[in-house]
Amino acid sequence: MKSHGAFGYIEDKAHYKAQLKKWQRKLLHVQQAYYHQKRRAVIVFEGWDAAGKGGAIRRLTSKLDPRGFTVYPIAAPGEEENGRHYLYRFYTKLPVPGTMTIFDRSYYGRVLVERVEGLASPTQWQRAYQEINEFERLLCDDGVRIVKLFLHISEKEQLKRFEERLHNPHKRWKLTEEDVRNRGKRKDYEQAIDAMFSKTDTVQAPWHLIPAEHKWFARVEVLKTLVSALREGVDISPPPIDKKLVTLAEEKLGITVPSSSKQVSGDS
């Protein structure tokens, strides 16, 4: 598991905005490379209730090409999914070439909420570690890049955010009875999270622990982590200019391309 610093903090809003813009731009360049090279990625968000997963996902996606990603908020399985293997609904949401799938909570629910709340039997959630590792290995072997992020906040900070949500009419909808009940089982969830890290932190799909006590820091750190993990071993330079397109633009539109930019791609 890769831990991304201690509980970091960005105090200055201007610095936060500058860092956010910088890493959003870098992530856009990565997304463009994935599109042109027909690569695929799965991004998994897990974390404590009120840890800021939604806010991080909004900052992550706000500057990307919307055609190149899909966000799936994962809740309880629907009628069609009940009775099927728990991984079924994730198989149906895997990315097509050139795109990314973002899971807001994920198949790790089997070893987290389903374990703690008794929605899966001990036999079911204990075997799930191997099932998940094999599922992710299958994807990696097929060329899918997997990035798993866990946003961590303290018990004290979580209570503060619950209080803010309850007092703010525009955020009150975010606080649910389930959130309140889950807080009473924090020790059980801590044990489940530790076991998840221990058993599913693999070479091909490691966990990235994001300190999320301060939202600005967490959002920037999520972007930096994704850029680093997604671009590893990937050429993110723009594709060369299409020779035929250059010729057509010069002939039909009167647009001339500087010689220094004519690094053409042959007849591709």
Q: What is the pLDDT of residue 6?
A: 56
Give dist(CA 165, CA 184) in Å, integer: 18
Query: What's the CA gap between 103 and 91, in Å, rounded?
Result: 12
pLDDT, one tens digit per residue, over 169-193 is 877 777 777 777 778 899 999 999 9
7: pLDDT strictly greater than 90: no
Which region, left, alpha or beta, applies to residue 224 given φ > 0 means left and ψ of -120 to 50 means alpha?
A: alpha
Q: Determine the pLDDT at residue 267.
A: 39
Asked if 103 and 72 count as a contact pair (C-beta separation under 8 A), the reply is: yes
The pLDDT value recorded for residue 261 is 58
- Per-residue model confidence as pLDDT tens digits over 9-42: 888 999 999 999 999 999 999 999 999 999 999 9
**Residue range 193-208: mean pLDDT, rounded:** 98
In angstroms, the CA 180 to CA 263 distance is 58
Rg (CA), the chain: 21
Which tens digits make up the pLDDT trace of 47-93? 999 999 999 999 999 999 999 999 999 999 988 888 899 999 999 99
